[in-house]
Amino acid sequence: MKKTISLLLLMALLAGCSNANAEQSSKAELRTVAIETVQADGYGDVLTVSGNIVPTQTVKASFKIPGVLQNVAVSEGESVVAGQTLAVLDKVDYNIQVKGAQATKSTAQAQTSAAIAQREAAAAQKDAATAQKDAAAIDIETAQLQLDTEIPTKIEQAKAQYDLTKTSYDRVKQLYEQGIASQSQFDEISAKLKVDQNTYQQALDAKSIAESKIKSAQSQLNAAEAQISMTTAQIDMTVAQVSASNAQIEASDALLDAAKTKLSDTVLKSPIDGVVLQKISETGETIAEGYPVVAIGDISDVWAEIGITDDMINKIQKGQQAEVYVYGLNQTVIGVVDEINSLADTTTRTFPVKIRIDNTEGILKPGMICRAEIAMNNVEAIFVPIDSVIHFAEGSAVFLLNEDNTVTKTIVTTGEITGDRIQIYSGLQSGDNIVTKGQFTLHDGDTVQIEEMEK
């Protein structure tokens, strides 16, 4: 800094001498100069922090079930899409479980079918017994009606007729024995008596038959009721069997679904689109449930992960732009502050900050070392070339170009030097045109010829 100031003083002395000599020369001579238009640009402190490129999303894919790793289907660095097969477990044990569950379900279904058949047979038997009971009840009712009404009347009528015919027979027989009645008369009354006796006996037999029929029908009724009771019990039992078998089918369905799910889970698929970052397990290894097999990272966007000290953490904001230099690529990319952790890392005592960077082309790889630069307290400031500032006795000045191509010596207040440019605190404003070449031979009010405009 001291060396720079000394140089500026020397230049000022030379310029003063030059201007003194120039005052004696002709002012009519046009001098060719170069100019630059003054612009106010963003300026401030820059926070520079080293870090690493990391994926914005990392998933360690694992199986939901244990088993022997049969195959890892991807390689490190390979791009994968969601749903793509990453690895496969040996399926033998899980196929056995599926077949066992299918057999259990088939057995339960067969038991259900058998119980349904038994229930239907018992129901048919119950229907037959019910029909038998109804028929027996009708027979009993019919026979009882005959015993109560028709048969007594017939017996009474047949007996009355028989008694009447018997009386006539006794009288005719007596007359026949006395020779009064003829043989034909006696034969006629004898035949009628026999008919009436048979009719009377038939009436008595009808009563016995009706009573026997009632007894037989009652036996059939009792047997039918017993059959109904038995088949009802059988139906109830088969209903319970069907219910139990259906419950067993549901249970076996659940077992079968679980077995099929486990069989399906022997294939590990990628949960996201990304890149294989690491193969954690190898073919032939016995893998526990939940143990990571492959690490997948989404690197369509990446983070530059840096650590910010506690004295600087409150000076950055989410959404703030950052320049990230990636050493391996020798390239600077633009990112945006995406995450600011409120908890310091216990080891480094810095606060983790993540800068999101577009990585559509995929050139940024996880693990690359980088350097992030974040502007702090950014303000508008004017910087001009150091050579354009000339030091006079009254202070530092620049030559300001007027619209008529004359120049005006303008006193300025200078500030910080950055590279080959110096900050101007006062004396200039955006849009002013200053002389940047040929200024050491100029006088206030000189007319100049413009060589070029530097933007």
Per-residue pLDDT reduced to its tens digit, 265-278: 999 999 999 999 99
Please determine, for residue 430, whether its predicted confidence score (pLDDT) is greater than 90. Answer: yes
Q: How many domains does the chain have?
A: 2
In a domain, 308, yes or no: no
Query: Which residues touch 96 (CB under 8 Å, ≥6 apart)?
Result: none
| pLDDT tens digits for range 237-255 | 888 988 888 898 888 889 9
Max alpha carbon distance in the chain (Å)?
213
One domain for residues 103 and 10: no
Identify the CA nearest to 334 among candidates 280, 372, 293. 372
> How many other CB atoms sit within 10 Å of the CB of residue 225?
15
| pLDDT tens digits for range 135-179 | 989 988 888 888 888 889 888 898 999 999 999 999 999 999 998
Please determine, for residue 365, whether its predicted confidence score (pLDDT) is greater than 50. Answer: yes
One domain for residues 20 and 148: no
The reported pLDDT for the residue numbered 249 is 87
For residue 357, give both structure tokens.
């960077």
One domain for residues 115 and 251: yes
In a domain, 118, yes or no: yes
Please determine, for residue 330, whether its predicted confidence score (pLDDT) is greater than 50. Answer: yes
DSSP state of 313: G
In a domain, 370, yes or no: no
List strand residue ranges (DSSP E) for 235-386, in order.
267-269, 274-279, 286-287, 292-308, 321-326, 331-340, 351-358, 369-385
Mean pLDDT across the stretch 171-188?
Answer: 91
One domain for residues 120 and 248: yes
Q: Using 50, 70 and 90 to split pLDDT, how confident is the model at 132?
A: confident
Q: What CATH number does residue 420 fall under? A: 2.40.420.20
One domain for residues 242 and 100: yes
| pLDDT tens digits for range 103-118 | 988 998 898 898 899 8
For residue 74, give both structure tokens.
């991807």
The reported pLDDT for the residue numbered 41 is 79
In a domain, 107, yes or no: yes
In a domain, 391, yes or no: yes
State the Cα–Cα distance between residues 70 and 257, nearest whole angstrom.
23
> Scanning the structure block, which residue is given the tokens 């009719």?
199
One domain for residues 113 and 253: yes
One domain for residues 28 and 124: no
State the Cα–Cα distance between residues 330 and 49, nearest whole angstrom.
16
One domain for residues 133 and 218: yes
State the Cα–Cα distance between residues 90 and 68, nearest whole angstrom.
6
In a domain, 288, yes or no: no
Q: Using 50, 70 and 90 to split pLDDT, how confident is the model at 30?
A: confident
The reported pLDDT for the residue numbered 3 is 39
Domain boundary among 200, 228, 258: 258
Domain boundary among 258, 280, 307: 258
One domain for residues 99 and 247: yes
One domain for residues 115 and 223: yes
In a domain, 210, yes or no: yes
Please determine, for residue 18, whether its predicted confidence score (pLDDT) is greater than 70. Answer: no
Residue type at 40? A
One domain for residues 17 and 146: no
Domain that holds residue 394: 2-43+380-454
One domain for residues 224 and 143: yes
Mean pLDDT across the stretch 316-326?
Answer: 94
**Which of 18-22, 111-115, 178-182, 384-388 has the largest mean confidence?**
384-388
Please determine, for residue 6, whether its predicted confidence score (pLDDT) is greater than 60. Answer: no
Q: What CATH number does residue 174 fall under? A: 1.10.287.950
Burial of 410 (0-12, 13-18, 19+ CB in 10 A): middle
Q: Using 50, 70 and 90 to split pLDDT, how confident is the model at 44?
A: low
Q: How many Cα atoms are found within 13 Å in the side-chain-facing hemisphere of 359?
A: 24
Q: Using 50, 70 and 90 to split pLDDT, how confident is the model at 15?
A: very low
- Write down the mean pLDDT value for the chain: 88
Domain boundary among 195, 230, 258: 258
Please determine, for residue 22, whether its predicted confidence score (pLDDT) is greater than 70. Answer: no
Query: Which residues touch 80 (CB under 8 Å, ≥6 apart)?
Result: 74, 86, 270, 273, 274, 275, 276, 296
Q: Are 360 and 329 in contact (CB under 8 A)?
A: no
State the Cα–Cα distance between residues 188 and 427, nearest whole angstrom.
173
List strand residue ranges (DSSP E) for 105-250, in order.
none
In a domain, 78, yes or no: no
